[in-house]
Amino acid sequence: MEQVIANGLYLGAQYALIALGLTLIFALMNVLNFAHGQMYVLGGFITYTVYGQLGLPFVVALLASGVTLAVIGALMEKFLFRTVIRRSHREESTMLLAAATAFFFDAVILLLFGEKQRGVPKIVKGVFNDAGIIMPYDRIVVGALAIVFIAAFVLYMQYSRVGRAMRALAQDRVAAQLMGVRVDRYSMIGFAMGAMLAGVVGGLLVTITGVNSGIGGPISIKAFLMVMIGGAGVVGGAIAGGFILGMMESVGLTVLREYGDVTYLVIFAALMVFLSVRPNGLMGKPWG
Amino acid sequence: MINRRSTLKSMALGAVSTLALAALGISSAQAENKELKIGFVGVTSGPAAAWGTSNVRSMQTRAAWINETGGVKIGNDTYNINIVTFDDQKDPKRAIAGMEKMAQEGVHYVVGPNVDDGAAAVRPVAEANGIIYFPYAFPKALYQKPASNAVLGMIANYQSGPAIYKYLKENKGVKKIAFVAANESDPLSQRDSGVEAAKALGLEIVAQNDTYQNDTRDFTPVLTPIVALKPDLLVLSGVAPANAPLLIRAARELGYEGLISTETAQDAKVLEEGAGEYANGFISVGGASTPEIASDAMKEFVARYTKMFGEYNDESNTKVYALEYIIETLKADPAAINDVAEFKKTMDSFSAPNPFLKGDAKLSYVGTTSFGQKRQLSVPMVVNEYKDGAFQTLFVGSVD
């Protein structure tokens, strides 16, 4: 059982980090970024190239992933989403745009990096094996880094000037604008941060799970699941959603293994019941 | 008067004229050959892209090679090969659309689809439009009468599995076996036939219901309960090349020390990057590129593929064969170019040298034992063991 809990906690930390960027973009702009998984994949491939192929230090690769995705995110907000939001009053316009960018990224990633699964050398070797728990050291490092990143993100959002401005935007866009918050600027920074988070997680996890060009869609779906559990647009909700999903997956795969692949069936069924009772998730607000 | 401007003008005109003449020359040389369209309908995007991509690239490499050396002579005519491709995205509906596209383009020979449901879905279209197709999918109904247009392009798991388990039982002392499969039709059916084969050999099956979502990225929770059962052999039924290194790594990190095998083709580079030394000893089914058996033609194929696409894919060791069979069968019976009934007749007696294997190996159609008719390509059943970045031949079997 200790192993099952350890697996769940590790998965939860990794999932929470994946969901953070998605929920940030949703909170700021009311945009469901369907390309979040593809951004994760791109971040993974950048780390693969810089660390795995060019042999530069892992930290440099992680930085490259984060910075590249931040730039891409900023450009997407400025030239795509901002334009569409300004010209269209229909919310589905941004959803369609996000879906289109997801397909675009899928095609570009396949062209640039090919169809094969890619992996990089382990950042830390060895396996922790004590007290009934087996956990490779690189997972412990990645899990710890994920928690550090989550904490840093929460503190940044809570106490920095940019974070406060973004929270104001998330709470009430018009009121924030009337109070002098530069909506365009902080929307761009928020989108860049969301994309950067996706890139950094992709870079971090390429050391554990590798990366391939086709996993963007499934990653996005999982991220949406976590956001739905925790409540759309709430940072704490995304974190809670990540840990809940991680634990449900770990426990389900052990307890229900004799019944075949029913774990996700149970998770989806539970989610449907949960959402019908609490449609805004654990921490979501009815007004967004 | 000749000035700098007129000199430049003359040079430019000369260059354009030379290019135009060269282009005319090339096109007239190409025009001498007729065109033979061969189709590909399979998955070249998404998580299973590696399967179809290695397929289509093998075809494109071989076609370019043939065209570069003057085309292929079939009957009294010489043909350049044109590969017509369609990405079905592993979706049976799109596979049907792809096969319909092939019919509209007048293609009679199609390689693919890569998965069970796609191969089953295209059957009515292929049969109605006179198309012979070469799936990389295992349902027996596709190859047994009354079906007659599908030809299995590789060794099926129910053919290789028993041979592998028997070898491991006799040579490595395997007694307890566990199966894990993705929750999709191909891996599940491969698992079921693997379980049957293991039972027939008297092996103790300690796990057979464990499955995972094909898009799983972290397999530790999936494998934790299986590793605790301490099987001698862990079979990754129908595992996709993208998932194999992740499963191997998770099992080894959890302390699993037994053997790991699969009946699908894998790529050594992917295993090396994803699992490193943990992949040593991993057993899979390959084709013809291990040094022990590869001919010079196979080595040239690998070199051309690498030059054309930047990196070779070991899965192509088996996927190099389909186009070769189509061309050689058409050479044996030129009337089959537009008449698949002729092709079917020729399949029963067809035999030609296998260019990709050392020695006097032959290309021929097999499958009588499994399907009651010759609806399978005779591809060498090379069982490989991965070691330090490359495959080594464990043993070579055959199918009749």
∠ CA B335-B339-B340, rounded to 5°: 115
Q: Is the CB of B306 inside 8 Å of chain A's CB atoms?
A: no
Alpha-carbon distance values, A170 to A82, A135, A287 (Å): 16, 38, 11
Tens of pLDDT, residue by residue over A55-76, are 999 999 999 999 999 999 999 9
The shortest CB-CB distance from A115 to any of B49, B225, B274 is to B49
Tens of pLDDT, residue by residue over A151-195, are 998 899 889 999 999 888 888 888 988 988 898 999 999 999 999
Residue percentage of chain A with pLDDT more than 70: 99
B165 and B251 housed in the same domain: yes
Within 10 Å of residue A86's Cβ, how many Cβ atoms?
Answer: 9
Would the CB atoms of A7 and B221 count as touching at under 8 Å? yes
The tokens 């998605």 sit on which residue?
A22
B300 vs B288: CA distance, rounded Å: 12
Sign of CA dihedral B124, B126, B132, B135: negative
Rg of chain B in Å (alpha carbons)? 23
B interface mutation test: which of A105, A115, A211, A224 has the most B CBs within 10 A? A115
B147 and B212 housed in the same domain: no
Residue B279 lies in a domain: no
B142 and B182 housed in the same domain: no
B232 vs B316: CA distance, rounded Å: 30
Cβ atoms of A26 and A187 within 8 Å: the answer is: no
* DSSP H helices in A77-182: 82-87, 91-113, 137-159, 161-171, 173-178
B229 and B166 housed in the same domain: yes
Mean pLDDT, range A144-153, rounded to an integer: 89
Residue B272 lies in a domain: no
Would the CB atoms of A215 and B245 count as touching at under 8 Å? no
Residue percentage of chain B with pLDDT more than 90: 66
Cβ atoms of B321 and B153 within 8 Å: the answer is: yes
Here the tokens at position A75 are: 């450009």
A44 vs A119: CA distance, rounded Å: 9
B127 and B202 housed in the same domain: no
Here the tokens at position B380 are: 């060498």
A121 vs A207: CA distance, rounded Å: 7
B258 and B304 housed in the same domain: no
Query: Domain holding B161: CATH number?
Result: 3.40.50.2300
Mean pLDDT, range A198-204, rounded to an integer: 94
Cβ atoms of B357 and B349 within 8 Å: the answer is: no
Q: Show Cβ contacts of residue B188 under 8 Å, excluding neighbours closer than 6 positions.
A: B181, B182, B211, B237, B238
Q: Show Cβ contacts of residue A154 under 8 Å, excluding neighbours closer than 6 positions.
A: A235, A236
Residue B286 lies in a domain: no
List chain A residues with CB under 8 Å of B50: 115-117, 212
Here the tokens at position A264 are: 């996700």
B112 and B171 housed in the same domain: no
Cβ atoms of B267 and B315 within 8 Å: the answer is: yes
Q: Is the CB of B119 inside 8 Å of chain A's CB atoms?
A: no
B138 and B92 housed in the same domain: yes
Tens of pLDDT, residue by residue over B126-144, are 999 999 999 999 899 999 9
Q: Is the CB of B176 inside 8 Å of chain A's CB atoms?
A: no
Output the pLDDT for position B16: 55
Size of interface A-B (CB pairs under 8 A): 115
Measured in degrees and rounded to the nearest 5, phi and psi for residue B321 equal -80, -35
B186 and B82 housed in the same domain: no
Sign of CA dihedral A186, A189, A195, A198: negative
Output the pLDDT for position B179: 96
Output the pLDDT for position B9: 58
Measured in degrees and rounded to the nearest 5, phi and psi for residue B69 equal -100, 25
Q: Closest by alpha carbon to A44, among A106, A115, A119?
A: A119
Cβ atoms of B44 and B56 within 8 Å: the answer is: yes
Q: Which of B264, B283, B314 is the last residue of a domain?
A: B264
Cα B232 versus chain centre, distance: 29
Q: Between A116 and B64, name the one with better pLDDT.
A: B64
Residue B193 lies in a domain: yes
Q: How far is B249 from chain A (nearest CA, A)?
A: 9
Would the CB atoms of A260 and B183 count as touching at under 8 Å? yes
Q: How far is A218 from chain B (nearest CA, A)?
A: 6
B310 and B258 housed in the same domain: no
Output the pLDDT for position A118: 93
Would the CB atoms of A215 and B217 count as touching at under 8 Å? yes
What total number of domains does chain B contain? Answer: 2
Residues 30-49 of B with CB under 8 A from A: 44-49
Residue B391 lies in a domain: no
Beta bridge partners of B72: B79
Mean pLDDT, range B142-154, rounded to an integer: 95
Q: How far is A256 from chain B (nearest CA, A)?
A: 9
* DSSP H helices in chain B: 4-32, 49-68, 92-104, 116-121, 123-128, 157-172, 185-200, 220-227, 244-253, 268-275, 296-309, 316-319, 321-332, 340-347, 368-371
Residue B270 lies in a domain: no
Measured in degrees and rounded to the nearest 5, phi and psi for residue A198 equal -60, -45
Q: How far is A104 from chain B (nearest CA, A)?
A: 12
Supply the range of the domain harboring residue B202. 157-264
List chain B residues with CB under 8 Å of A208: 218
The shortest CB-CB distance from A250 to any of B47, B221, B310 is to B221
Residue percentage of chain A with pLDDT more than 90: 50
Mean pLDDT, range B237-252, rounded to an integer: 92
Whether B31 shows a pLDDT value over 70: the answer reads no
Beta bridge partners of B283: B261, B385
Q: How far is A206 from chain B (nearest CA, A)?
A: 9
Tens of pLDDT, residue by residue over B220-230, are 889 989 999 99
Whether B20 shows a pLDDT value over 60: the answer reads no
Output the pLDDT for position A180: 87
B139 and B191 housed in the same domain: no
The shortest CB-CB distance from A115 to any of B50, B213, B246 is to B50
* Omega before residue B146 within 30° of 0, cis: yes
Among A87-91, A162-166, B328-332, the least confident range? A87-91
Output the pLDDT for position B13: 55
Output the pLDDT for position B45: 82
A244 vs A8: CA distance, rounded Å: 8
Q: Is the CB of B215 inside 8 Å of chain A's CB atoms?
A: yes
B344 and B374 housed in the same domain: yes
Output the pLDDT for position A60: 97
B162 vs B145: CA distance, rounded Å: 24
Would the CB atoms of B213 and A264 count as touching at under 8 Å? yes
3-state DSSP: chain A helix, strand, coil percent, rounded to 5?
Answer: 75, 5, 20
Alpha-carbon distance values, B303 to A136, B240, B288 (Å): 38, 25, 14
> Torsion over CA of A164, A168, A171 and A175, rounded to 10 degrees?
170
Would the CB atoms of A121 and B215 count as touching at under 8 Å? no
Q: How far is A93 from chain B (nearest CA, A)?
A: 25
Could you write out the DSSP letters of every residue in B216-265? -S--HHHHHHHHTT--SEEEEET--TTTHHHHHHHHHHTT--SEEE-SS-
B277 vs B272: CA distance, rounded Å: 7
Mean pLDDT, range B252-277, rounded to an integer: 92
Model confidence at A27, pLDDT cuts 50, 70, 90, reads confident
Element (H, E) at B179: strand B176-182
Sign of CA dihedral A50, A52, A56, A59: positive
A226 vs A16: CA distance, rounded Å: 8
Whether A211 shows a pLDDT value over 90: the answer reads yes
Alpha carbons within 13 angstroms on the beta-carbon side of residue B290 total 24
Region at B306 (left for phi over 0; alpha for psi -120 to 50; beta for the rest): alpha
Model confidence at B184, pLDDT cuts 50, 70, 90, reads confident
A93 vs A80: CA distance, rounded Å: 11
Cβ atoms of A20 and A150 within 8 Å: the answer is: yes
Model confidence at B396, pLDDT cuts 50, 70, 90, reads confident
Here the tokens at position B376 are: 């399978």
**ipTM (interface pTM):** 0.85
Would the CB atoms of B215 and A215 count as touching at under 8 Å? yes
Mean pLDDT, range A2-8, rounded to an integer: 89
Whether B61 shows a pLDDT value over 80: the answer reads yes
At position A61, the amino acid (one-letter code) is A
Output the pLDDT for position A263: 87
Within 10 Å of residue B166's Cβ, how many Cβ atoms?
Answer: 16
Output the pLDDT for position A115: 84
Would the CB atoms of A116 and B313 count as touching at under 8 Å? yes
Residues 224-243 of B with CB under 8 A from A: 224-225, 241-243
Output the pLDDT for position B7: 55
At position B312, the amino acid (one-letter code) is Y
Whether A196 shows a pLDDT value over 90: the answer reads yes
Q: Closest by alpha carbon to A134, among B256, B35, B319, B154?
A: B256
Would the CB atoms of A258 and B48 count as touching at under 8 Å? no
A31 vs A91: CA distance, rounded Å: 8
Domains in chain A: boundaries: 2-215
Output the pLDDT for position B1: 43
Residue B280 lies in a domain: no
Model confidence at A288, pLDDT cuts 50, 70, 90, reads very low
**For B350, which DSSP code?**
-
Beta strands A127-130; A133-136: pairing state: antiparallel
A interface mutation test: which of B91, B216, B220 has the most A CBs within 10 A? B220
Residue B103 lies in a domain: yes
Among B75-79, B357-361, B371-375, the least confident range? B357-361
Whether A272 shows a pLDDT value over 50: the answer reads yes
